[in-house]
Amino acid sequence: MNATPAPEWQEAIFQILKAGDVRQIAYVPDAGHSHVIRRAVADPDIQDVVLTTEEEGVALVSGAWLGGQRAVLLMQSSGVGNCVNMFSLLQSADLPFFTLVTMRGEHAEFNPWQKPMGRTTQAALEMMGIHVLRASRPEEVAETVSAGFDSAFGAGDRVAVLLSQSLIGRKKWEAK
């Protein structure tokens, strides 16, 4: 099997998390995050945690922080809608939070079910007190992710970095 190498921006994300001493990465499997997930699974210093739903990840990263570890939640924009109630925990307990969100419902989206949450992801996060940054081009990713990471774990902010669907590329329905 000849695997295609991941784009540099995806490896840059993993390197930022690794350099920042992230010890847990929580996720619902997502193709847009697949490189970071594979790297986390292979790294003995990082515990990868597969979630059944994204709101579990809010609790997990909060508990990791309270236990003295840095954790990051990886999710797709549709998962943001699942987390809205749990985001109140972050404000109530004044916890830092960092999430990377791959966007759907934007660039050449084929699935109409992805469009409503894709259009409201940023607003939903902001209404819950989460600072939103966005990377739309490969050359923006490293700086944007690094800045968000520093805001979350250096200043105690709640930050989401939205990774544009144009970064991830077109998804196509494939009949099997």
Residue 135 lies inside a defined structural domain of this protein:
yes
The verdict on residue 67 lying in a domain is yes
126 in a structural domain: yes
pLDDT digits (tens, 9 = 90+) for 24-81: 999 999 888 999 999 999 999 999 999 999 999 999 999 999 999 999 999 998 899 9
Encoding tokens for residue 42? 């292979």
C-alpha to C-alpha distance for 127 and 91, rounded to whole angstroms: 11
Contact yes or no for 8/138 (Cβ under 8 A): yes
How confident is the model over 150-176, as a mean pLDDT?
84
Number of domains in the chain: 1
Nearest C-alpha neighbor of 125 from the set 90, 67, 80: 80
pLDDT of 86 higher than 60:
yes
Question: What pLDDT is recorded for position 168?
Answer: 79
**What tens digit of pLDDT does each residue of 89-130 get?**
999 999 999 999 998 766 665 666 666 676 779 999 999 999
Q: Which domain holds residue 35?
A: 22-168
User: Residue 1: pLDDT above 50?
Assistant: no
In-domain check, residue 2: no
Going by the DSSP 8-state scheme, the letter that residue 41 receives in this structure is H
Q: Measuring CA to CA, which residue among 171, 146, 153 is closest to residue 9?
A: 146
- Bridge partners for 15 per DSSP: none
Instruction: Please check whether residue 173 lies inside any domain of the structure.
Output: no
Residue 13 lies in a domain: no
Q: Judge whether 5 lies within some domain.
A: no
Domain harbouring 98, CATH code: 3.40.50.970
The pLDDT assigned to 31 comes to 86
Is residue 134 one of the residues assigned to a domain?
A: yes
pLDDT level of residue 162 (50, 70, 90 thresholds): very high
Q: Are 98 and 112 in contact (CB under 8 A)?
A: no
